[in-house]
Amino acid sequence: QVQLVESGGGSEQPGGSLRLSCQASTDTYGRCMGWFRQAPGKEREGVAAIDPYGSHTYYVDSVKGRFTVSRDNAKRTSYLQLSSLELEDSGMYYCAIGLVSTPRCSLTPGLFTYWGRGTQVTVSP
């Protein structure tokens, strides 16, 4: 059983920055890692994902140029750098990890097997 723990959430003003971390209980080698978010009254959406060894990243259009996903397999951790925050970025952010040897990563929820409990991000003036 893989467990994921998110951290780094908090409150920021528009234009501010936060860095979220996701630490896994097992090795992350060979697994896709992703970040999703959900705002009240809205469906969960994929925000960012990263290939097993960081060769490629994927972002939802609304965060391109503002968010950066990265990973450190030696630390069993993935990161999501949130910059130039906007009000619409508010929500609960969830880390997710897929199965070993997944050919390609994406923002499709079904690709990910284990999920963290989330960390809250609130953007307000």
pLDDT digits (tens, 9 = 90+) for 27-78: 999 999 999 999 999 999 999 999 998 889 999 999 999 999 999 999 999 9
> Residue 63 gets which letter from DSSP?
G
Picking from 33, 25, 36, 26, the residue whose alpha carbon sits closest to that of residue 49 is 33
Instruction: Say how far apart CA 62 and CA 66 lie, in whole Å.
Output: 9
Per-residue tokens: 71:
């990973």
Mean pLDDT, to the nearest integer, of 9-18? 98
Condensed to tens digits (0 to 9), the pLDDT of residues 107-117 reads 999 999 999 99
- 102 — pLDDT class (breaks 50, 70, 90): confident
Q: What is the rounded CA–CA span in Å between residue 71 and residue 84?
A: 21
Does the pLDDT at position 103 exceed 90? no
Strand partners, 23: 5, 77
pLDDT value for 104: 86
Which of 70, 12, 9, 3 shows the shortest CA–CA distance to 37? 9
